[in-house]
Structures are given as structure tokens and as C-alpha cells.
Amino acid sequence: MSPRRPSDTEPAQQNSPSVEAAFQAVPPELIAEILNGELHISPHPARPTLNALTNLSSLLVTAFTFGKGGPGGWVIVNQPEVHLGPRPDKLVPDICGWTRARLPQAVGGPDAPEHYDLAPDWVCEILSDQTRRIDKVEKMRIYAREGVRNVWHVDPVAHTLDVFRGEGRHWLLVNSFAGDEKVRTEPFETIELELALVWSE
């Protein structure tokens, strides 16, 4: 699924200077995002969200970044700033990943940009009362537009995992899991993921 790009006859919209200035002025204790030209501000994750984010990321990084107990071949990052589209939209996914084939060099060093401008292959949003609407609506539309292959929605309170696959400009709900299930699901089906470990404290 290839990202959508504006045609030669379709002028690219830009974020207004006032929105960009407000985005830059948001203090670091808050998370700022620009979605479809509008500024959204949310608090850093509360304990249930942060717990699930940390646990899930640790499991996937071990297997898919370091290749311990899994195949490796991925770059997985927590809460990066990702710029997508010509405007651009500026998003902060809770966790996202790129295959090494698409992002062959780890980002680092003094000349590395502060953000990523390549759409991830996989995104995970940890749902909370503060972010649920934009995670399930605005962000999903942007991810579909940019060709993200898979999105996971994790609810750390309900203990659920919903797995979506991009189908053109739409999303297919591939599967839903809950509780302490042990699951294999795309794009990480080569390992068995114990959901009990995701919810553990």
C-alpha cells in the first residue's frame, strides 16, 4: 500500500504559522501533535498506559530489534515525533516500528533529525480517556493515507488488543484479543506474545 501524495493539480495544504508556533511552545511535560492542521495537546501517559507501553515495547524490542528469542529485523521506538504528509501532520505514536529494509540505519548521532519523516510499518496506540478519540479516528485516517500496514490498539484498563491491517484507505479488523491470552498476530506472528506480561506491574 503506497502513501498518498498530492497530485500536480492539488495544492499541498500547510499548517498555519500560528499553529506551528503554538506547537513549538508546548512545554515538554505535555505531548503536542498537529493533526489535519489542528493542534492537539495531551498529558504524558498515566500509570496504566505507561505500564502497558513499557512492557509491550520491551517484549517486541527484545525479539525484533535485538533478535533475542525472535527474528530481529525491526527498528522499534517509543513515542517518536513522526512527520507525515506534505502539511505535515506531526504525530507521536505510543510505539511504532519500521523494518530494517525500509529504515536500514539506526537514528542517532549529532546530525540526526529530531523527528522521523518516513511512515512506520506498524503503529501501536495505547488507548486512554484523553487520547481515545484521536487515536481511533484522526490518527487512523492519517495512518491509512500514508500507507501504514498495521495498527494495534491496546486498552490497558480493559486488557484488550485490537489488530488492524491497512486495506487501501480503509482498515480491516484482523483480530481482537483479551485478558491473558497468548497470541500470534501480524506483523509479529513469528513469536508468541503473552498478554499477561503486557498488563503486569
| CA gap 187, 189 in Å, rounded | 6
More confident residue, 51 or 103: 51
Q: pLDDT (tens digit, 9 = 90+) per residue, 143-200?
A: 999 999 999 999 999 999 999 999 988 999 999 999 999 999 999 999 999 999 999 9
**pTM, two decimal places:** 0.89
- pLDDT score for 3: 45
Torsional sign, CA 187, 190, 196, 200: negative
Residue of 65, 67, 154, 149 lying closest to 107 (CA atoms): 65
| Alpha carbons 148 and 124: distance in angstroms, whole number | 11
- Domains annotated on the chain, with CATH: 17-199 (3.90.1570.10)
- Write down the pLDDT at residue 31: 93
Q: Does residue 9 carry a pLDDT above 50?
A: no
State the amino acid at position 16 in one-letter form: S
pLDDT-derived band at 7 (thresholds 50, 70, 90) equals very low
Cβ(66)–Cβ(191) below 8 Å: no
| Cβ atoms of 37 and 87 closer than 8 Å | yes
pLDDT in tens, 94-137: 999 999 999 876 555 555 668 999 999 999 999 999 899 999 99
